[in-house]
Amino acid sequence: MATTYTLISSNVLSSSAASVTFSAIPADYTDLVIRLSARADGAIVNVKITFNGDTATNYSQTYLIGDGSAASSGRQSSVDNFNPYGVNASTYTANTFSNAEIYIPSYLVSQNKPIGFFGVTENNATSSYIMPSAGLWRNTAAITSIGIAPNSGNFVSGSSFYLYGISNA
């Protein structure tokens, strides 16, 4: 059977870091998947994602947020990064981490890039959130690097980031 889901690179932080960037992503796959488990040391933290170092206003997103008692939805157009979900922050129960999957189909095609997000915070307490999001990066270049950063503070030690390649088979 052909290998369709391949680990390209990963990193588990051994100390806090302001960002994690996957660079020199090979052009060997059809789609990309990032799986991450993260916690940050800021009080209220969202995760920012950028492609190819682009921090111009080429990103848009539509999102849902649910906490078990209420749901809300929103949209951001022409912003300078994807800001799709909240990550466990310093206010969360100690040693709990959020997790998320980011699916990037057809990352090599010469078209704008739609992105799918699914993230949750886990708190071991009453307050936790589920956050799916649909994103778009308006750029026709192949994706060669992906930057992931908290919008405030640092990712803490133990945060993990995995980049997979998906091949049509």
Nearer to another protein, 18 or 109 (CB): 18
Cα gap 152→159, rounded to integer Å: 15
Which residues have CB under 8 Å from 69's CB, separation 6+? none
Residue with tokens 């921090």, as numbered in its chain: 55
Q: Using CB under 8 A, pick the residue from 4, 6, 13, 31 that binds another protein.
A: 13
Phi and psi at 35, nearest 5°, equal -120, 130
Shortest spacing between CB 30 and another protein, in angstroms: 16
- Return the CA Rg of the chain: 16
Q: Using CB under 8 A, pick the residue from 106, 123, 152, 160 that binds another protein.
A: 152
Nearest Cα residue to 60 out of 84, 85, 32, 86: 84
Restricting to residues 35-64, which ones interact with another protein according to CB under 8 A? 42-46
**Does 24 interact with another protein (rule: CB under 8 A)?**
yes
Shortest spacing between CB 10 and another protein, in angstroms: 8
Please report, as ranges, the residues that interact with another protein according to CB under 8 A.
Answer: 8-11, 13, 15-26, 42-46, 149, 151-154, 161, 163
